[in-house]
Amino acid sequence: MKIAIASDHAGFQLKEALRQRLVEQGHDVQDMGTHSTESTDYPDYAAQVGRRVADGLVDRGVLVCSSGVGMSIAANKIRGVRAALASSREEVRLTRAHNDANVIAIGANFSTREQAEEYLDTFLATEFDGGRHARRVAKIAQIEEQEKQR
């Protein structure tokens, strides 16, 4: 699977651990930064990953910041991105199965490395259920189109 990953400074160490895990699992990983703990602005990194997902250059995106909230908000501004905040394995499973989330945001200050790895593995292993959920996901795209017209 092709995966774009990024973090701000607060998520850098966890991003590095997750990036390494993905590489070891054989994924094609595109690291969009940051590359240190020097202070950065999370929207820049969320946009890079979100655009790669929306443009179909990668299959999924992974974002890490202190809470995961800022990254998910910023990524969701990009048309075609369905970014979800990870706070439990079951929540991650459901957001893939029911919402076809294509980007996961993880809070480095609210997740242990082990939890983050569990969220990541679940995010990658869970397929979209389709069916009635596909109708609902299509309505999200309709909202995006309506807002573009406003």
Active site residue 35: no
State pTM to two decimals.
Answer: 0.96
Domain residues for the domain of 90 are: 2-149
Q: At CB < 8 A and 24+ separation, what contacts does 41-45 make? A: 41/8, 42/8, 42/70, 42/71, 42/74, 43/70, 43/74, 45/6, 45/7, 45/8, 45/71
Active site residue 98: yes
pLDDT in tens, 80-136: 999 999 999 999 999 999 999 999 999 999 999 999 999 999 999 999 999 999 999
> In this structure, what CATH number is given to the domain that contains residue 28?
3.40.1400.10
Number of domains in the chain: 1
Active-site entry in 9, 27, 35, 98: 98
Active-site entry in 27, 35, 65, 133: 65
